[in-house]
Structure 1
Amino acid sequence: MSMDRRTLLATGTAAAASLWLPGCSGAATSAAPAFIRRDGQRLLLGEAPYRVVGANMWYAAWLGANAPYGNRPRLLRELDRLQALGLNNLRIMAAAEEGPLKNSIKPGFTLPDGSSNAALLEGLDFAVAEIGKRGMTCVLALSNFWEWSGGLQTLLQRVTGSYIDMNDPAHPWPAFADATAEFYANPQAVELYHAHVRAVVGRTNSVTGQPYAADPAVMSWQLTNEPRPGGSDAAIAEHRQAYLDWIAGTAALIRGIDPNHMVSLGQEGTQGCNGDAGLVAAAHEHVDYLTAHIWPLNWGWVTGDDLAGTWPAGERLVADYIATHRQLATQIDKPLLIEEFGFPRDAEGYGPEATTQFRQRYYRTIYDAVEQSWRESGPIQGSNFWAWNGEARAAHEDFRFKDGDLAYMGDPPHEPQGWYGNFNSDAAMLDVIRAHVAMKCEGLQEPCPA
């Protein structure tokens, strides 16, 4: 998920039982588990297509921690709800860097001195173990371009001693993105990041006793959430090669530790490269699949207080963005996942009582494109909506997150709580999601993995 949304304009069959599905512990005809892999523009589990019907749940490790900020009973309830919906994939954070940035979540996976937070790492272990128990998979993001989990700016601060806060009036956009992009060419900062990559990718799960590298519940390692080469055209040009070198080097590092799992970038697509489709293609040369994130309100495609008037034009822009990235995926012969897409509640309300008529339309637009690609054997292999709020409710009348709050939502701490996430009481939204899940296996000649 990107910056403050107001500031940026710009059913398995019998044949499937021959596979070891993620999280299954029973015997199989193969002696080894099957990992999700890429074959051209398809994702496969064993020899069967793997279609992603997923959600974002960045806070899973925090709930999983056996610590005062954790809530394992709630995590289990939320995972049960998502499994009952039929979802098979969750995108979660496997990193957060504590530091001085104003809006960063605390605690982090690494503390301000760079040392590891054992309790949060064990929370990740618990979350991944429980995801695997339910036959689901996860994408593990290894850092963040944005400030809400510390991210690359915090790693730079640990090396340089200076930093910029996102939305600081003294440093208006694109100062934050331009400053953060300096990370890629800073060897000391990159090494701090790589140290965390090595620690997590090379980790043995303290709950299951299984190395992450051998765990079929992991779908892919993701370099970071929404890495941009800069905000201004000048910064993008300056940092382009360092950005590409960082991607290639990190992908090689991960594969050297874990040859079993896919590697993904986590990029928004052309919106994160100021429209440069060639840079998007180049950025995905050394990873396994293309990602696209779509945020109509953030990007000025719709207006929150006039969704009825602005949605028709916004819908066309969404369709064009999907078409652009479907064409890019075809060009580079890799799968495409729409791994983040979010939309406000009607009248931009935040509480669960606010209706979701336009969000329903938006989700159907995304899901229609995914289902069309499934029918046509196209490159779009699935999607992850942003995000799952579940049973959490805002703790304060102003819907703002405050340090010490424990009702984690899909809306990260710098945003209004309830802005984009789906609550467990959102019956109409859950119906839209269920209808999409029901299409996951339609038209397949091969067994359909869970």
Structure 2
Amino acid sequence: MKIDRRTLMAGSAAGLASLWLGGCSAGAADGPAPGFIRRQGQQLVRGGAPYRVAGANMWYAAWLGADAPYGNRPRLLRELDRLAALGLNNLRIMAAAEEGPLKNSIKPGMTRADGSVNTALIEGLDFALAEIGKRGMTAVLVLSNFWEWSGGLQTLLARVTGSHMDMGDPAHPWPAFADATARFYANPAAVELYHAHLSSLVSRTNSITGLPYAEDPAIMSWQLANEPRPGGSDAAIAANRDAYLRWISESAALIRARDANHMVSLGQEGTQATNGDAGLVAEAHGEVDYLTAHIWPLNWGWVKGDDLAGTWPEGRVKVVDYLTTHSDIARTLDKPLLIEEFGFPRDGEARDPAASTDFRQLYYQTIYDAVEESWANGGPIQGSNFWAWNGEARAAHPDYAFRDGDLAYMGDPPHEPQGWYGLFDTDTAMLQAVRTHAAKAKG
């Protein structure tokens, strides 16, 4: 790809930002206004009282909220009512999706392949945020994705370089995709496109409520990306370290220049994202308000889906160790910690909603026990968000695959088997565990 094309893409960022604006709000005064969540040492507080997060991931909220053929506002209202009835107070949702050449990315996106804005989907985010606020809940708005299922950083790179890599391509086995995507941080033109999206959304006025995003207490934090890694291989992590940290610092500063009311978070998994480098995890969270950790025992090989009974005991030890490691990092930084993604398969790694969830219940309880102990003892873990909410959605195909054009969005994103990790509205035992935990968050 020629340099003049790359320069053109970088130069177009300001124009792109102007297209996004639903209205502009000047930067707020120093310090958050009343009613906003902020950090106080290792705690989150709101209105002078502790704010304990009992939440879920619901990446697709904006898609349901769109007044478009792919939207379903009545379903969104039903799902939010179910979540509120469980006592949940926080949802982590996607506030970005980039269409492009990646084969597994969701369509439509919030920006099309040519970089133009999908206004209907952005207004779907407006609608979702308005309804979340009506129910006294808050949202974490995720501004991009390291992984391919929403386009993400790899797609932004493709827009300026003309080349891309698909996750899972046999010609490029792991960690090739992670190493390739991490080149984003040192590409000024790609970062400029990301910053244009960030700036325009932070400066947006909600088309439903008329309230500037920067003044909306329904937002808990802006999150830089879903699981941004500095690379996959040790060599890539070392090579990208400075650019990665610079991207975090500059992006956080850009948000704060436009919005003094809301916290900024990173969205990182923790040491799994840094090949065990706890020092890099601490450094990466130096410019944001709280730490995040994601825990995926099956994906990380800590348990086996076809032998949960035999592998869960050792897997549980690793889960507890991971919680301890990240609690220690949070104490060192004197910042809160949220376990904002944790997922586990159904028994036998089944996808059918009728399959049992005995080991998933044990896993959730392990996380919830650690969170509740921290609440009771003044520790840094301030809450959690399970992955993810499927609600009334059901897989549209016998093979549990997602196909372009499917509209039964669920917590399992389009590249994954539908029903793999999410909670359905019929998961009675799981929902009771969530409800009991959420009640303790209010205690």
TM-score range for the pair, normalised by the shorter chain length: over 0.9
Partner of 2:328: 327
Partner of 2:230: 229
SS at match of 2:406: coil
Q: Is contact 2:290-2:335 (8 Å) kept? A: yes
Partner of 1:434: 435
Partner of 1:24: none
1:437 is displaced (CA, Å) by 1.2
Partner of 2:60: 59
1:115 is displaced (CA, Å) by 1.1
* Sequence identity percentage: 77
What amino acid is aligned across from residue 35 of structure 1 in structure 2?
F
Partner of 2:311: 310
What amino acid is aligned across from residue 320 of structure 1 in structure 2?
D
C-alpha distance in 2, partners of 1:38/1:433?
25
Partner of 1:285: 286
Matched, 1:196 2:201: no
C-alpha distance in 1, partners of 2:362/2:427?
14
C-alpha distance in 2, partners of 1:440/1:260?
23
**Per-residue deviation, residues 11-31 of structure 1 (Å, max 9, x unmatched):** xxxxxxxxxxxxxxxxxxxx9
Partner of 1:76: 77
Partner of 2:38: 37
**What is the correspondence of 1:375-394 to structure 2 with a 5 Å cutoff?**
375-394=376-395
C-alpha distance in 2, partners of 1:33/1:376?
27
What amino acid is aligned across from residue 373 of structure 1 in structure 2?
S
**What is the correspondence of 1:46-195 to structure 2 with a 5 Å cutoff?**
46-195=47-196
TM-score, normalisation: structure 1: 0.91
Partner of 1:419: 420
C-alpha distance in 2, partners of 1:172/1:155?
21
SS at match of 2:97: coil
Partner of 1:341: 342
What amino acid is aligned across from residue 259 of structure 2 in structure 1?
D
C-alpha distance in 2, partners of 1:440/1:227?
29
What amino acid is aligned across from residue 144 of structure 1 in structure 2?
N
1:92 is displaced (CA, Å) by 0.1
Partner of 1:206: 207
**What is the correspondence of 1:366-377 to structure 2 with a 5 Å cutoff?**
366-377=367-378
What amino acid is aligned across from residue 159 of structure 2 in structure 1?
R
C-alpha distance in 1, partners of 2:35/2:322?
33
**What is the correspondence of 1:228-307 to structure 2 with a 5 Å cutoff?**
228-307=229-308
C-alpha distance in 2, partners of 1:391/1:292?
28
What amino acid is aligned across from residue 237 of structure 1 in structure 2?
A
Q: Is contact 2:55-2:88 (8 Å) kept? A: yes
C-alpha distance in 2, partners of 1:130/1:362?
31
**What is the correspondence of 1:22-33 to structure 2 with a 5 Å cutoff?**
33=34
SS at match of 2:62: helix
What amino acid is aligned across from residue 223 of structure 1 in structure 2?
L
SS at match of 1:375: helix
C-alpha distance in 1, partners of 2:388/2:33?
33
C-alpha distance in 2, partners of 1:399/1:87?
28
SS at match of 1:291: strand
C-alpha distance in 1, partners of 2:267/2:245?
14
C-alpha distance in 1, partners of 2:266/2:327?
17
Partner of 2:24: none
C-alpha distance in 1, partners of 2:166/2:34?
44
1:210 is displaced (CA, Å) by 0.4
C-alpha distance in 1, partners of 2:353/2:42?
38
SS at match of 1:305: coil
> Would you identify which runs of 4 or more consecutive aligned residues in structure 1 move more than 4 Å?
none
Partner of 2:20: none
What amino acid is aligned across from residue 334 of structure 1 in structure 2?
K
C-alpha distance in 1, partners of 2:438/2:250?
36
Q: Is contact 2:55-2:90 (8 Å) kept? A: yes
1:297 is displaced (CA, Å) by 0.0
**Per-residue deviation, residues 64-117 of structure 1 (Å, max 9, x unmatched):** 000000000000000000000000000000000000101000000111111111
C-alpha distance in 2, partners of 1:441/1:203?
32
C-alpha distance in 1, partners of 2:283/2:422?
32
**Per-residue deviation, residues 136-182 of structure 1 (Å, max 9, x unmatched):** 00000000000000000000000000000000000000000000000
1:439 is displaced (CA, Å) by 1.3
Partner of 1:218: 219
1:197 is displaced (CA, Å) by 0.3
1:351 is displaced (CA, Å) by 1.2
Q: Is contact 2:58-2:411 (8 Å) kept? A: yes
Q: Is contact 2:290-2:337 (8 Å) kept? A: yes
1:420 is displaced (CA, Å) by 0.1
1:33 is displaced (CA, Å) by 4.3
Partner of 2:21: none
1:199 is displaced (CA, Å) by 1.3
Partner of 2:364: 363
C-alpha distance in 2, partners of 1:135/1:122?
20
SS at match of 2:297: coil
Q: Is contact 2:84-2:135 (8 Å) kept? A: yes
What amino acid is aligned across from residue 79 of structure 2 in structure 1?
E
Q: Is contact 2:296-2:343 (8 Å) kept? A: yes
1:434 is displaced (CA, Å) by 1.0
Q: Cα–Cα, structure 1 residues 174 and 263, in superposed 2: closer, same or farther, change >3 Å?
A: same
Q: Which structure 2 residue ranges, 5 or more long, are not aligned?
A: 1-31
C-alpha distance in 2, partners of 1:152/1:347?
34
Partner of 1:20: none
1:441 is displaced (CA, Å) by 3.2
1:32 is displaced (CA, Å) by 5.8
RMSD, aligned α-carbons: 0.8
Count residues with an aligned counterpart: 412
Q: Is contact 2:33-2:261 (8 Å) kept? A: no
C-alpha distance in 1, partners of 2:143/2:239?
24
What amino acid is aligned across from residue 88 of structure 1 in structure 2?
N
**Per-residue deviation, residues 380-421 of structure 1 (Å, max 9, x unmatched):** 000000000000000000000000000000000000000000
TM-score, normalisation: structure 2: 0.92
